[in-house]
Amino acid sequence: MASFTLHGIPVSRGIAIGRAHLLKPAALDVKHYLIPEDQVEAEVSRLQNAIATVHKELQTLWNELPKDSPAEVGAFIDVHALILSDPMIAEVPLDIIRTRHYNAEWALVTQIDELSAQFDEIGDPYLRERKADIQQVGERVLKVLTGTAATLPKQDADGSAAHMVLVAHDISPADMLQFKDRSFGGFVTDVGGQNSHTAIVARSLDIPAAVGMYNASALIAQDDWVIVDGDAGVVIVDPPQVVLEQYRERQARLMRERKKLGKLKKTPAITKDGTEITLLANIELPEDCTAAVEAGASGIGLFRSEFLFMGRTGYVGKLPSEDEQFEAYRKAVTLMKGRPVTIRTLDIGADKPLDTAEQTALNPALGLRAIRYCLAEPQIFLMQLRAILRASAYGPVRLLIPMLSHTSEIDQALVMIEQAKGQLRDAGKKFDPLIPVGAMIEVPAAALALPMFIKRMDFLSVGTNDLIQYTLAIDRVDHEVAHLYNPLHPAILYLLSHIISTGARENIPVAVCGEMAGDTKLTRLLLGMGLREFSMHPTQLPSVKNEILNSDLTILGMQTRKILRTMDPVAIAESVSQLGTL
Ligand code: PEP
Ligand code: MG
């Protein structure tokens, strides 16, 4: 197969080289026709031959596995070989051809649909997951039957570890989380934007990823060799040897640089002119605290608590109970050993539905999301508040409320926090009565009406991901408008600098916890605006710290003021890239 290159949106840095693993194979959509009686046995042989060819393919895959490839790669091939040999796949479809005269593809799909339906009934989640394996095996056989089978590279191009690169039309944030403990090399999806939650999780996994690839999942075949350049948003399929070599070199260089940066872990983040900057971590699950401490974070600036709630089928009855939540929050507090943990209350809705089967609103990003959802579901909100408050008895906890934009919402949220405290007092449970409460500034209305927050809140945290989405009217998950999602738009720079300077003037701490805070290309700009608190994925912390160590605030302040008066996006981008170097 000839090599080809796909261009999309870079979302998680680094380079991955490995074989493609199609997460959700294309729909088993085949032609249906009836076979005349005298051709039935020929049709049976056609299916038998296709099955035999797939057996050989799997054998070749197995033989070509490098010695140090992860165990799951081998196990995955074994499972597929077993499925293929099972009479359910190897025999039943043959009977269907003989009895019902279906063509081979139709017979196979009929049986796979039947098996899939049976798997849906199974309670055991592990067994239920095997449905995907059956579908993938079916897909392989179909490819042979329809003559679209990918020819496997004869030569194993990989001399070292064979990683798998997941290729999918889309991966939900909840699905992405499942990969936390799996060793995949990279991710490629057809849809998605730079700051979709899926992209954010990919970044937190520190796995090279590119999204918005349009039809990558149709163009890339199972087991194709692919290079994912997560910095450029480029995917090279079946690369020639010389390209592969170049990328291997770059990959090795990046690893070396990262190792060097890792040594900064214990170095305080102090600018050249002596100002200490606070570097905090964003996490999705309590276990992520280990990586945060490891990266040298001085606390958690954003715990996206909704990830504890996602991916549970069903509704209220299936939500994590107060005790389950409390254990999760307490775990984070304990793991952070006295460093503050900022827990954001449930930010559900938009691209983070509670249940993927749930009907989405007409315009979910503008709908019942985050605090709006919580105020509409007071029991869920109160339960979460009690759980967070209880965790505050074990170490410093701060409460962060997302998407606030009306005084009534602020007031209602504060009343409910007091109500939750009252309930705990009545139940004789301990908590920090002075728990700091902060607001996320992520709706333009909030940014433009800061006095609403200043008297009522203890701290502010700017959610630039949403602030950009709502200010520029760009859906952050829609790849078709992703090119317009620009953190350097003059309106965004104006709002950001306004929030930061107002915070300094009014003596209310301001952090940035959106993706801008972890982007090293923007560190100097944010410092120049006066930002002193950054919250980002633990993996980004060392390189942001490196930028800080090499920055001089006096120079950056002057240069940034000039940028803020510029309206030309090209000139802004140019000046930002040169900040501190002139
Ligand atoms: C943001 O909007 O910038 C933010 C940090 O919150 P989330 O990405 O979870 O919406
Ligand atoms: Mg947000």
- Give the ligand 1 atom nearest the CA of 195: 8
Residue nearest to atom 1 of ligand 1 (CA): 463
Higher pLDDT among residues 175 and 332, named by residue: 332
Q: For residue 85, report the distance from its CA to the centre of ligand 2, in Å.
A: 48
Q: Kindly identify the ligand whose nearest atom is closest to the C-alpha of 280.
A: 1
Residue nearest to atom 9 of ligand 1 (CA): 304
Q: Tell me if 536 CB under 6 Å of ligand 1.
A: no
- Give the ligand 1 atom nearest the CA of 469: 2
- Pair 436, 399: CB distance under 8 Å: yes
Q: Tell me if 370 CB under 6 Å of ligand 1.
A: no
Q: Give mean pLDDT, residues 356-378.
A: 82
Q: Give mean pLDDT, residues 195-204.
A: 79
What span, in angstroms and rounded, lies between the C-alpha atoms of 21 and 9? Answer: 20
Please measure the distance between the N-terminal and C-terminal CA atoms of the chain and give it in whole angstroms.
49
Q: Is 363 exposed, middle or buried (0-12, 13-18, 19+ CB in 10 A)?
A: exposed
* Segment among 62-71, 293-302, 505-514, 517-526 with least mean pLDDT: 62-71
In this prediction, residue 383 carries a pLDDT of: 98
Confidence of residue 391 (pLDDT cuts 50, 70, 90): very high
Residue nearest to atom 8 of ligand 1 (CA): 465
Pocket probe mutation, ligand 1, options 288, 351, 462, 465, max atoms within 8 Å of Cβ: 465
pLDDT at 397 over 70: yes
- Give the ligand 1 atom nearest the CA of 402: 6
- Pair 246, 524: CB distance under 8 Å: no
Output the six-digit token pair for 56.
């050989």
Q: For residue 402, report the distance from its CA to the centre of ligand 2, in Å.
A: 7
Q: Tell me if 136 CB under 6 Å of ligand 1.
A: no
What span, in angstroms and rounded, lies between the C-alpha atoms of 74 and 556? Answer: 53
Instruction: Give the start-end residues of each E strand in 370-482.
Output: 397-401, 437-441, 459-462
What span, in angstroms and rounded, lies between the C-alpha atoms of 276 and 264? Answer: 15
Pocket probe mutation, ligand 1, options 466, 471, 522, max atoms within 8 Å of Cβ: 466
Q: Tell me if 203 CB under 6 Å of ligand 1.
A: no
Q: Tell me if 464 CB under 6 Å of ligand 1.
A: yes
Q: For residue 213, report the distance from its CA to the centre of ligand 1, in Å.
A: 23
What span, in angstroms and rounded, lies between the C-alpha atoms of 16 and 36? Answer: 50
pLDDT at 147 over 80: no
What span, in angstroms and rounded, lies between the C-alpha atoms of 339 and 279? Answer: 12
- Give the ligand 1 atom nearest the CA of 350: 10
Q: For the chain, give the longest Cα–Cα distance.
A: 88
pLDDT at 364 over 80: yes
What span, in angstroms and rounded, lies between the C-alpha atoms of 389 and 121? Answer: 39
Q: For residue 294, report the distance from its CA to the centre of ligand 1, in Å.
A: 23
Report the candidate in 68, 162, 190, 7 with the shortest Cα–Cα distance to residue 153: 162
Q: Tell me if 301 CB under 6 Å of ligand 1.
A: no
What span, in angstroms and rounded, lies between the C-alpha atoms of 551 and 545? Answer: 10
The backbone torsions φ and ψ at residue 237, rounded to the nearest 5 degrees and listed phi first, read -100, 135
Q: Tell me if 369 CB under 6 Å of ligand 1.
A: no
What span, in angstroms and rounded, lies between the C-alpha atoms of 528 and 522? Answer: 10
Q: For residue 105, report the distance from its CA to the centre of ligand 1, in Å.
A: 46
Q: For residue 434, report the distance from its CA to the centre of ligand 1, in Å.
A: 25
Q: For residue 468, report the distance from its CA to the centre of ligand 2, in Å.
A: 10
pLDDT at 139 over 90: no
Output the six-digit token pair for 333.
């507090």
pLDDT tens, position by position, 225-262: 999 999 899 999 999 999 999 999 999 999 898 889 88
pLDDT tens, position by position, 271-321: 999 999 999 999 999 999 999 999 999 999 999 999 998 866 444 447 899
Q: Tell me if 469 CB under 6 Å of ligand 1.
A: no
The residues annotated with a catalytic role in the active site are 197, 513
Q: Tell me if 476 CB under 6 Å of ligand 1.
A: no
The Cα-based distances of 495 to 339, 446, 509, 529 in angstroms read: 30, 10, 16, 11
Residues around ion ligand 2, judged by CB within 5 A, are: 442, 463, 466
Q: Tell me if 105 CB under 6 Å of ligand 1.
A: no
Output the six-digit token pair for 279.
């570097």
In this prediction, residue 351 carries a pLDDT of: 65
In this prediction, residue 174 carries a pLDDT of: 59
Report the candidate in 191, 168, 190, 210 with the shortest Cα–Cα distance to residue 23: 168
What is the edge-to-edge ordering of all strands in the sheet holding 9-12? 4-7, 234-237, 225-229, 15-22, 163-168, 186-189, 209-211, 9-12
pLDDT at 157 over 70: no
Higher pLDDT among residues 176 and 558, named by residue: 558
- Give the ligand 1 atom nearest the CA of 515: 3
Higher pLDDT among residues 363 and 379, named by residue: 379
- Give the ligand 1 atom nearest the CA of 200: 8
Q: Tell me if 304 CB under 6 Å of ligand 1.
A: yes
**Strand, helix or coil for residue 22:** strand
In this prediction, residue 430 carries a pLDDT of: 98
Q: Tell me if 514 CB under 6 Å of ligand 1.
A: yes
Q: Tell me if 463 CB under 6 Å of ligand 1.
A: yes
Q: For residue 316, report the distance from its CA to the centre of ligand 1, in Å.
A: 24
Q: For residue 304, report the distance from its CA to the centre of ligand 1, in Å.
A: 9
What span, in angstroms and rounded, lies between the C-alpha atoms of 550 and 545? Answer: 9
